[in-house]
């Protein structure tokens, strides 16, 4: 079965053969039907084994068409598949686009199109050949491929598409054989390779590359041409006759790779030749945060040397990669770890969760031991990004769009990064100079920048139509992110002093960022805890504090085996005015109450210590001497305060302690006054 003259033609063998089943018609039927010309249409008379007779399929009576279709399939559909539009072989196009001639140059676009078309036609002809063989096999017909039909198809495709394959049958058959065994390369003309033969040898090429890489001195292409010919004369090499040969050599991809880094720098060469990963951004919020410091791309004015001058600041931004929301930031005069920590803390406080992964820029401050320790706690995984690899930083792309879409609208925009070559990314310095006095002040810039960040966050997310970046973030959930608790906040945000401080009668004092802070331990009623003081004055404590709220600190001790242990909270040391006219009534009440409690504490300690002396027989009164009284406390006050002291709970003691001898008991009693004896009895 094949196409003949635009009609579907079947062979006599296909109609009458019964080797693989019932025949469509007997040979006698065929002879009878062909004898009556009005029934079967013979398109071609049979002329031997390779030239069978062809009958028009559409002339078969319906009963024979039904049998033919049942046995071989629908010829119309099979032929339609064979006649479908010639598709371009995309693999061939890619092959010829990447093809390099011996001199390193590529094929011209016209040749790429020609060879890709020829490859597509050859593929169609080979497929037609295989189909013909398969159909004949199904019909039990072992006759060879009819090449006249293949050649006719080739010419039809030539008229329709304009391919350049051989018109001669023998040459076409050879090209098809060669294409099946050698592939796409057999279609490239040998004339192209010969015309572009390499004319610069290995040694000569190395010399040219060395001159191109030279930095002392730096040669232009024209100077390399002259210098090379000068060297070639001394070494017996052939001289270059034209600049085009040199330019063509240096432009070869494999040659460019050997001098590009010397001319543009390693970073630029890396961007050209190093493979970049194709990555997919996270789909859940808080899965990946990026942190990076950059110039805050807005000028402000500052006063210097008697005039206003433009100035800029640094900003550290933390961004959620999935939603592109600017989560937290910190503005500073220099980029350092302290600014980074504040920005990350702002992001954590806003999010209410720790990120699963935090990627930050590799600035020097992050290499400190305390910085590494803190960053390790800020996320489940914290890591620096690869240095000098901007494409790996999603935040760089977001910064660029933030600048172009939001910051760029302001006339005092500083421009984009120095590597951005667009004219729109450069500031108008003449206009800026003429309007320095109109620039925002530092405080105005501090108020403006949060509004610009909010504008970015409220803009529609590029991959979530109809939703702003902030909506994408707030509506998202990440089950792996850890919610912030008070304990986590304290662990992340509170700082512990590197050295302990001593608690004195003035409380405990630390200095943070050059500012002195003084604390003391208070009772629940807000008064100084004198009992705690009496037990801990002189003791050393580490102080843990929140840099954003210095009103309360935690006092810790440090055990060699167990580390820090919490002791108690301390609050800002209570201060009162020295001058009476400045004192408030509340301060005066505090002074009176505090004086009373101090006296009470003194009496309590005096009585407890005196009882201890007597218990162990070392009291001065037990040895013929007298103890000095408490200064500033009258006898009447002593009695009153002793009565109060007896209400202070103490460790249980025996109901009575007997002296070892009656003489000792009498001696002790004779040396005590009535008042002292009564006071001790009260406690």
Strands 540-546 and 549-559: antiparallel
Phi, psi of 33 (to 5 degrees): -70, -35
Query: How far apart are alpha carbons 114 and 120 in whole angstroms?
Result: 10
- Please give the backbone phi and psi of residue 125, each rounded to the nearest 5 degrees, phi first: -65, -40
d(CA 404, CA 387): 25
Query: Rounded to whole angstroms, how far apart are CA atoms 538 and 533?
Result: 9
**Pick from 339, 350, 352, 349: nearest CA to 291:** 339
| Contact in structure between 329 and 292 (CB atoms under 8 Å) | no
| Model confidence, pTM | 0.53
173 beta partners: none
Numbers of helices and strands, H then E, in the chain:
27, 18
Do 67 and 57 contact (CB within 8 A), yes or no?
A: no
Query: Which pair of structure tokens corresponds to residue 129?
Result: 């050949």
Q: How far apart are CA 156 and CA 149, in angstroms?
A: 10
The conformation of residue 326, written as its DSSP 8-state character, comes to E
- Contact between 547 and 495 under an 8 Å Cβ cutoff? The reply is yes
The 10s digit of each residue's pLDDT in 30-49 is 888 877 666 788 877 776 66
Phi, psi angle pair for 504, to nearest 5°: -120, -170
CA distance 565 to 563: 7
Pairing between strand 381-384 and 357-360? parallel
Cβ pair 347, 366 in contact under 8 A: no
Query: What is the Cα–Cα distance from 363 to 424, expressed in whole angstroms?
Result: 29
* Dihedral (CA of 556, 558, 561, 567) sign: negative
Is 176 strand, coil or helix? helix
Is residue 533 classed as helix, strand or coil in its secondary structure?
A: helix
d(C-alpha 568, C-alpha 532), whole Å? 10
In whole angstroms, what is the distance from residue 151 CA to residue 156 CA? 9
CA distances from 396 to 289, 390, 448 (A): 13, 7, 22
Q: With H, G, I as helix, E, B as strand and everything else as coil, classify residue 467.
A: coil
Q: What is the 3-state secondary structure (H, E, C) of 367-401?
A: HCHHHHHHHHHHCCEEEECCCCCHHHCHHHHHHHH
Neighbours of 538 (CB within 10 A): 9
| Euclidean distance between CA atoms 90 and 67, whole angstroms | 40
Q: What residues contact 540, with CB distance under 8 A and at least 6 apart?
A: 500, 501, 502, 503
Greatest alpha-carbon pair distance for the chain in Å reads: 164
The DSSP-derived string for 483-501 is EP-HHHHHHHH-EE-SS-E
Look at residue 418 in the predicted model and tell me its pLDDT.
46
Q: Sign (positive/negative) of CA torsion 14, 19, 23, 27?
A: positive
Q: Residues 622, 612: contact at Cβ < 8 Å?
A: no
Helix 369-378 with 486-493: angle, nearest 10 deg: 160
> For the chain, first and last CA: distance in Å?
126
Burial 484-493 (b: 16+ CB within 10 A, else e): beeeeeeebb
How far out from the chain centre does Cα 211 lie?
40
- Find, among 486, 501, 484, the residue nearest to 538 by Cα: 501
- In DSSP notation, 577-643 reads -SSGGG--HHHHHHHHHHHHHHHHHHHHHHHHHHHHHHHTT--GGGGT------TT--HHHHHHHHH
548 contacts: CB under 8 Å, gap ≥ 6: 493
Structure tokens of 400? 């660029």
Structure token digits, residue 100: 């390099």
Query: How does strand 326-332 pair with strand 307-320?
Result: antiparallel
Residue (of 665, 673, 671, 613) closest to 639 by Cα position: 673
SS3 558: strand
Question: What residues of the chain score a pLDDT lower than 50?
Answer: 194-198, 391, 418, 660-662, 665, 669, 674, 683
Q: Which parts of 389-485 fold into alpha helices (H)?
A: 394-405, 429-434, 442-458, 469-474
Contact (Cβ atoms closer than 8 angstroms) between residue 314 and residue 332: yes
């Amino acid at each position: 079965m094949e196409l003949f003259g635009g009609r579907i033609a079947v062979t006599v063998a296909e109609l009458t053969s019964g080797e693989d089943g019932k025949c469509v018609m007997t040979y006698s039927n065929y002879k009878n039907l062909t004898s009556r010309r009005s029934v079967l249409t013979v398109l071609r008379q049979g002329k031997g084994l390779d030239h069978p007779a062809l009958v028009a399929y559409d002339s078969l009576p319906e009963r024979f068409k039904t049998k033919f279709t049942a046995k071989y399939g629908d010829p119309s559909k099979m032929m339609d598949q064979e006649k479908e539009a010639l598709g371009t072989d995309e693999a061939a196009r890619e092959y010829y686009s990447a093809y390099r001639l011996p001199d390193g140059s590529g094929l011209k676009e016209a040749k790429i199109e020609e060879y890709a078309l020829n490859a597509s036609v050859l593929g169609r002809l080979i497929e037609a050949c295989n189909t013909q063989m398969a159909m004949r096999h199904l019909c039990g017909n072992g006759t060879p491929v009819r090449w006249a039909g293949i050649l006719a198809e080739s010419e039809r495709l030539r008229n329709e598409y304009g391919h350049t394959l051989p018109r001669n049958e023998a040459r076409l058959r050879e090209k098809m054989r060669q294409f099946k065994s050698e592939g796409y390369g057999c279609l490239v003309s040998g004339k192209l390779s010969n015309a572009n033969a390499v004319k610069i040898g290995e040694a000569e090429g190395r010399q040219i590359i060395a001159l191109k890489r030279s930095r002392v001195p730096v040669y232009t292409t024209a100077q390399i041409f002259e210098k090379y010919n000068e060297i070639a004369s001394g070494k017996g090499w052939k001289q270059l006759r034209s600049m085009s040969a040199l330019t063509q050599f240096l432009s070869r991809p494999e040659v460019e790779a050997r001098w590009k880094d010397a001319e543009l720098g390693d970073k630029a060469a890396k961007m050209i030749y190093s493979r970049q990963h194709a990555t997919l951004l996270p789909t859940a919020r808080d899965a990946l945060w990026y942190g990076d410091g950059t110039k805050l791309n807005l000028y402000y004015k500052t006063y210097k040397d008697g005039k206003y001058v433009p100035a800029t600041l640094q900003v550290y931004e933390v961004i959620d990669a999935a939603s592109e929301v600017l989560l937290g930031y910190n503005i500073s005069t220099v980029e350092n770890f302290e600014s980074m920590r504040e920005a990350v803390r702002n992001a954590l406080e806003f999010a209410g969760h720790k990120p699963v992964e935090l990627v930050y820029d590799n600035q020097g401050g992050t290499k400190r031991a305390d910085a590494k320790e803190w960053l390790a706690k800020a996320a489940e995984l914290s890591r620096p990004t690869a240095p000098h690899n901007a494409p790996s930083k999603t935040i760089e792309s977001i910064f660029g769009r933030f600048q172009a879409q939001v910051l760029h609208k302001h006339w005092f925009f500083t421009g984009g990064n120095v590597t951005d070559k667009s004219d729109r990314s450069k500031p108008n310095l003449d206009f800026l100079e003429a309007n320095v006095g109109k620039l925002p002040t530092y405080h105005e810039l501090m108020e403006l920048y949060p509004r610009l960040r909010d504008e970015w966050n409220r803009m529609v997310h590029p991959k979530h139509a109809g939703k702003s970046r902030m909506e994408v973030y707030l509506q998202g959930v990440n089950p792996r992110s850890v919610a912030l608790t008070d304990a986590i906040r304290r662990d992340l945000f509170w700082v512990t002093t590197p050295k302990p401080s001593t608690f004195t009668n003035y409380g405990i004092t630390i200095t943070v960022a050059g500012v002195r802070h003084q604390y003391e331990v208070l009772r629940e009623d807000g008064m100084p805890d004198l009992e705690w003081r009496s037990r801990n004055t002189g003791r050393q404590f580490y102080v843990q504090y929140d840099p954003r709220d210095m009103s309360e600190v935690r006092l810790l001790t440090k055990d060699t085996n167990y580390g820090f242990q919490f002791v108690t909270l301390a609050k800002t040391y209570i201060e009162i005015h020295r001058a009476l006219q400045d004192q408030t009534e509340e301060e005066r009440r505090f002074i009176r109450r505090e004086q009373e409690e101090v006296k009470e504490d003194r009496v309590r300690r005096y009585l407890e210590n005196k009882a201890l002396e007597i218990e162990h027989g070392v009291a001065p009164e037990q040895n013929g001497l007298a103890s000095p009284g408490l200064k500033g406390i009258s006898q009447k006050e002593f009695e009153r305060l002793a009565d109060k002291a007896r209400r202070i709970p103490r460790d249980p003691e025996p109901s009575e302690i007997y002296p070892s001898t009656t003489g000792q008991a009498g001696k002790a009693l004779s040396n005590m006054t009535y008042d002292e004896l009564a006071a001790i009895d009260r406690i």
